[in-house]
Amino acid sequence: MNKKLLLSIACSCIGFNLVAQKAHQQWATSVIEVSSQLSKTQYSAEQALKRPNVLPGYGENPSAWVPSAGGLEYLKVGFDKPTQVCQVAIAESNFPGSLYQLFLYDTQGKEYLVNTFSAKSLAAKNRLLRVYFPLTSYKVAAAKIVLDVSRMHDQPAIDAIGISDSRRPIELEITLSEESERYLWAEHLGEGVNSPYREHMAVLTPDGKNLYFSRQNHPNNIGGTTDEDIWVSTLDEKHNEWNAATNIGAPLNNAYPNFVCAISKDQKDQPFFLLGNQYKEDGSMTDGASTCSLAPQGFTKPQNVNIPDHHNSSVHTDYYMTTDHKVLLMAIESFDAIGDRDIYVSFKKGDNSWSDPKNLGKDVNTVSEESAPFMVAGDNTTLYFSSKGHSGFGDSDIFITRRLDDTWEKWSEPENLGPVLNTAFDDAYYYVSQAGDYVYYSRGVSSEDVDIFRIPFLRNAVPKPVTAVAVVKPTMPMTLTINKGRGEYVAYKAPTIEEVIAKNTGVDTTGNGSLLTQKTLALADQTTTPDANDPVTKTANVRKAVDESGASTVSSGKSGIKTTLPDPKANLLRRDKNISKYKVQSENNTTTSVNTNTPSDMEITITDSTESNSNVAKGSSGAKKSTRIPRSVLEEFRRTMVAFSVGKSLVPEDIKPQLSKLVIIMKKYPSISIEIDGHTDNSGNAELNKKLSEQRAATVKAYFAENGVNPDRVRSVGFGEERPRFSNETKTTRQKNRRVEFVPVVK
């Protein structure tokens, strides 16, 4: 079972939020006409069909249409279901701003010019441009966009084109796996494993006591700073933390790229290693895979894996062998690859011989790149892999799919593992320990660096989505007071409707003795109607939650919901980044039907003050037992730094995924408070710099409050230019000094 995640995106920059309900939208399904394209597969016009699969990522990606010429370029696309529309969305995944004209076509092929725009290069890396206009009197069957490429710095890329009959903003859509509910927060493995260099491809020995991984460019690598070697860290079982890693040396490490792809057991019950590349007698290496065992006296000599018709045009390669040693998965760029690297499968035929590689097909592979295949021990059906071609949160995301038959060519729709695991950067090499307690994976911490993280793997905590439905009766308007310190309140008059309230998912982490409720997110959009010859822009107007509505709480040791209504005659609409829609009933004794992840459905009767039984509290975390806070959790705060542009105090979009991770940690550990320290470089007036640093710290503090962290647990301080971390002599070091840092405090 899966669910849809809708991403709300402003025209000029990328940000995403969960929303409760999508507009009546559809994406183009056929190419009618195109002026030019870079190829017939990658970067072709067909890559602009269906929903976006590059955004909210950006940059060069074969999964978007790129024209090959440099003048007025056009793309005409068709839609499955002609309908009247009042909105068109154009997903620009690289060099946005090229739109010159927009045309619509009715079912008879008649052409209508919607608007002419001023094409120009923008500073943004991507955007979802939404164009609003009065509802058409005709049904739209096709649309054409004309790009003025001559005004751009480079070739633009179009990821998708969508239409809607509603002014509710068209949203990006990601298919989330139900398994994503298992992932509550990600733990950085700390300095014992991670370093200023790139660490990835973490693999555990079957006993879970040794972690092997690849480290690139480290000066202690055998081949020096251009080399990639295998390192190992041992588990400190007392504290459940990983000790300082060491280079394993020869014979597995040499001056060439060395890495471990999988570890299982051999016939002697010894650790059995699948290694990347093949070891030659002269000490060099070649493309392919090899195996060895870890005997009491050390590693055995690597043996080459003989795969007929094995060919890889890419400089990168990944392999995975199932624990029964019968199935070999590989990510290579072979002759019949759909795009860049694809995932292939080979089956064992003899002692060390394998079948020809078979492509897993278009259900899994895209015109972009797929990599890092993995299957859980004992299950040759469920595949985890990384992809740049399926809809995700950034550059490369981790997905799950299930094999549907024995051909290995038919798979279920790949589902994204969610924003806790996936980030705006490269995420790959999903690996579950054989004990099944943790997921280890490689996570991008910047566009250049990758570290190793782990996430507790909650096997029995995969709840179904929760949907509450309330029938709302006509009521009087309600006027709320404006409180500038906490955001504007809005007046709302309820009509007679059936309202679907925000999805609210509870996860019972029984092993830790805690109850966590996750809430969907929403962004209130402000629309814009285009004027002739003007580019279309859009801003977001976020409305704060009305705290006076009463809180849903669960007392320690009890289960249930206690709801207090501020006014039994009023309907109150709450909107913030944490709650998409929440309605308090207008009449006493109104019955609300709730479908929860409890064993059976239940009904809650809300009166002025009442209690009802439930395992999940609406809208807030429940009772938590005190737990030891790992050192790595506190290091997460110290390691996170928010960098700002000159004179700016708004939270940068690319840092929000990292802040969201800190929010999750604070919700998990209520004993943690933080001090947010704002800093500047030494440019300009010292007094103004002090104020700017205070503003920077305050905006970051506001982000935590808007995402459900009690403001009393967050303190913001501005130090101006008083505490530089680097010299202010160069542009680069001044940029590093324009920052906000976090100091965790445990009560």
d(CA 425, CA 57): 8
d(CA 700, CA 640): 12
Q: Kindly indicate the confidence band of residue 459, based on its pLDDT and cuts at 50, 70 and 90.
A: low
The predicted pLDDT at position 610 comes to 25
Other residues' Cβ atoms within 10 Å of the Cβ of residue 646: 13
* 136 pLDDT above the threshold of 50: yes
Q: Kindly indicate the confidence band of residue 361, based on its pLDDT and cuts at 50, 70 and 90.
A: very high
Other residues' Cβ atoms within 10 Å of the Cβ of residue 298: 12
The predicted pLDDT at position 2 comes to 54
- Listed by start position, the domains of the chain span 25-164, 180-456, 631-746
Q: What is the pLDDT of residues 546-559, one digit of tens each?
A: 222 333 322 223 23
Q: What mean pLDDT comes out for the span 612-635?
A: 44
Q: What is the pLDDT of residues 716-726, one digit of tens each?
A: 999 888 888 77
With pLDDT > 70 as the criterion, what percentage of the chain qualifies? 74
| Top CATH class, 25-164 | mainly beta
CA proximity to 320, closest of 280, 371, 364: 371
With pLDDT > 90 as the criterion, what percentage of the chain qualifies? 48
37 in Cβ contact with 65 (< 8 Å)? yes
Angle (nearest 5°) at CA 438 between 433 and 439: 80
* 537 pLDDT above the threshold of 90: no
The predicted pLDDT at position 98 comes to 96
* 191 pLDDT above the threshold of 60: yes
Q: What mean pLDDT comes out for the span 374-386?
A: 90
The predicted pLDDT at position 458 comes to 64
Q: What mean pLDDT comes out for the span 461-486?
A: 30
The predicted pLDDT at position 317 comes to 95
The predicted pLDDT at position 684 comes to 82
* 502 pLDDT above the threshold of 60: no
Residue range 180-456, CATH number: 2.115.10.20
Q: Kindly indicate the confidence band of residue 512, based on its pLDDT and cuts at 50, 70 and 90.
A: very low
Q: Kindly indicate the confidence band of residue 285, based on its pLDDT and cuts at 50, 70 and 90.
A: very high
* 197 pLDDT above the threshold of 60: yes
What residues have CB less than 8 Å from 377, skipping those under 6 apart?
A: 264, 322, 323, 432, 434
Q: What is the pLDDT of residues 37-60, one digit of tens each?
A: 999 999 999 999 999 999 888 889
Averaged pLDDT score across all residues of the chain: 76
The predicted pLDDT at position 427 comes to 95
The predicted pLDDT at position 733 comes to 78
CA dist 75 → 49, 118, 282 (Å) = 11, 18, 55
Lowest mean pLDDT among 66-80, 279-293, 577-591: 577-591
The region that residue 48 occupies, defined by phi over 0 for left and psi between -120 and 50 for alpha, beta otherwise, is: alpha
* Distance spanning both ends of the chain, measured CA to CA: 41
* 5 pLDDT above the threshold of 70: no
Q: What is the pLDDT of residues 668-700, one digit of tens each?
A: 888 888 989 998 888 888 888 888 889 889 989
Q: Kindly indicate the confidence band of residue 649, based on its pLDDT and cuts at 50, 70 and 90.
A: confident
* 249 pLDDT above the threshold of 50: yes
* 521 pLDDT above the threshold of 80: no
d(CA 717, CA 49): 48
Burial of 645 (0-12, 13-18, 19+ CB in 10 A): exposed
CA proximity to 184, closest of 413, 517, 437, 433: 517
Q: What mean pLDDT comes out for the span 603-607?
A: 24
Q: Kindly indicate the confidence band of residue 378, based on its pLDDT and cuts at 50, 70 and 90.
A: confident
Q: Kindly indicate the confidence band of residue 181, based on its pLDDT and cuts at 50, 70 and 90.
A: confident
* 482 pLDDT above the threshold of 50: no
Of residues 731 and 718, more confidence is placed in 718
Q: What is the pLDDT of residues 87-116, one digit of tens each?
A: 999 999 999 999 999 999 999 999 999 999
The predicted pLDDT at position 643 comes to 83
Lowest mean pLDDT among 64-68, 171-175, 389-393: 171-175
Edge to edge, what strands does the sheet with 739-746 contain? 641-643, 739-746, 672-678, 714-718
The predicted pLDDT at position 115 comes to 93
| Top CATH class, 631-746 | alpha beta
Lowest mean pLDDT among 151-165, 207-221, 421-435: 421-435
